[in-house]
Amino acid sequence: MPNGNKIPGDLDANLDDKIDKNHDRKTRKWYIVLFIIFVFAMLGVGTVLVFGGTHWPIGKHTAYTGPKLIVISIDGLRFDMVAYNTTPNLARMADEGIMSPLVPAYPSLTFPNHYSMMTGLLPNKHGIIGNRFADLSRGESFDTRLDNCTSDASWLVHGEPIWTTLEREGGRAGIVHWVGAGCRFGGKRAKYAFPFRRHTHPEFVTDALIKLASIRGPKQTPNLLMAYYSLVDSTGHRYGPESVQVQRALGIIDKEIGRLRLFLSQKYPDTNLMVVSDHGFMTVKERIRLEDIWAGYEDSTMKAVCSPVTFLYPKLGVDVSGIVKRLKRQIKRKHPGKIKVYTRESMPSEFDFTGLPGRIPKIILQAEPGIAIDCSANGDSANDSDSNMLPKGDHGYDPKDPHMWAIFIAQGPAFMRDTLSLSKRINTKIKYTKGLPHTVDVYRVMANCLDLTVKSSLDSKARLENICFTKPFL
């Protein structure tokens, strides 16, 4: 682990301010925890370690068969970003396994899509409809930049994470900074849980996975490991997805994937490995100030997730239709064809963004590809990250746009091997159809690998499952 707040490799040093100031102290703390876990597990000492509200049961040492499934999320990894010259380890994994694009759920943002992957439900069912939003029935706002939101399970309206289902059926899970990892769903965290953090050194995430995978014991071995890497997303927002900084960030994450694959090949070759992402990325070409198209800020109580999806919550008693007409009129006059205005009732059915009247806003502004809505002049941050800088890259656009497509790569005994080369897969023009795999479909694949039953009430379909276990995508 590098000293200070330096991100490993030759990534631009200006990204250091994306790491929490207290990162060194927290990282050392978690390293100590991991070391104690590992030592107690290897010694076979039966005890329970409690640290930072997380319980770490360590049982008697017995023969170990390894985890069934490891799932890695690389936030913001667009489907076409994998290539041999920039991501050789991911490219080899794709060539030796299977690869597919994933259409994100609407809106194409981090928290809605991670919750869809881990619950098998769409945002209008699980209720995490954005990275920031208001819940008028609760009288509260959800903000991923606040620990009291990211660690509060009560924001989940329906469903439960796959690790909760697994542990209720007798399995064990280790969750490393994945979205929702710090929440007590059903009153309990995962057996081994590192709460969500936006910015953690990639090396630490991999170290944690390797340590957790090495825990031995009949009731201690994690069957499922899940981890989250944020570097590509934070770099893409700051410098743009086509920047050299993003290429370097990809290289850093790719080295960690290579390190994990080497460990698995030497210790646990029968473990299934999946790499997923939540959405793609697009270069921001134009910014439109919200005040340019709407002077009546007194009509709204909140603006959330600005750029390119903006939620507007009018005050009680305000004529919503009048606000919508005024917005459309201003957009047509000043920025024709660049922003669409929807009400909760007029949202396109393909977005599956209706219901939850206290949470899904009455007015939604959706920017066209490459357009960013800037609320910074009115005291709101420029985007839904924790940076006040205007982004050079963004997501949240129409999920059907290929720039928004996430990625799925899988390798292991449970998966088929695609005979088509990586270059042909990447260069093949793929048109959007309803049959394309979606991020919500990842749930069914995980459940299949873990021998869990998928409820018929879930939104997760067999689109990805068929590709993984029956017929490759291309």
- Rounded Cα distance between 393 and 375, Å, is 16
- Rounded Cα distance between 427 and 84, Å, is 13
- Residues pairing with 133 in the sheet: 142
Q: Is the pLDDT of residue 20 over 50?
A: no
More confident residue, 342 or 319: 342
Residue of 114, 89, 7 lying closest to 260 (CA atoms): 89
Q: Is the pLDDT of residue 424 over 80?
A: no
- Rounded Cα distance between 44 and 40, Å, is 6
Lowest-confidence region among 19-33, 182-196, 292-306, 360-374: 19-33
Span 210-229, pLDDT tens digits = 999 999 877 888 999 999 99
Q: What is the pLDDT of residue 315?
A: 80
Q: Is the pLDDT of residue 60 over 60?
A: no
Q: Is the pLDDT of residue 38 over 70?
A: no
Q: What is the pLDDT of residue 52?
A: 32
The overall average pLDDT reported for the chain is 83
Q: What is the pLDDT of residue 292?
A: 86
Long-range contacts made by residues 459-467, C-beta under 8 angstroms, separation at least 24?
459/116, 459/120, 459/121, 459/122, 459/125, 459/352, 460/120, 460/121, 463/435, 463/436, 463/437, 463/438, 464/100, 464/102, 464/408, 464/437, 464/438, 465/441, 467/98, 467/100, 467/416, 467/437
* 327 φ/ψ angles, rounded to the nearest 5 degrees: -60, -45
Span 140-189, pLDDT tens digits = 989 888 877 888 999 999 999 999 999 999 999 999 999 999 999 999 99
Eight-state DSSP code of residue 188: B
Average the pLDDT over 195-202 and give the result: 90
With H, G, I as helix, E, B as strand and everything else as coil, classify residue 434.
coil
Strand order, beta sheet including 98-102? 98-102, 406-411, 272-276, 69-74, 224-229, 173-176, 192-194
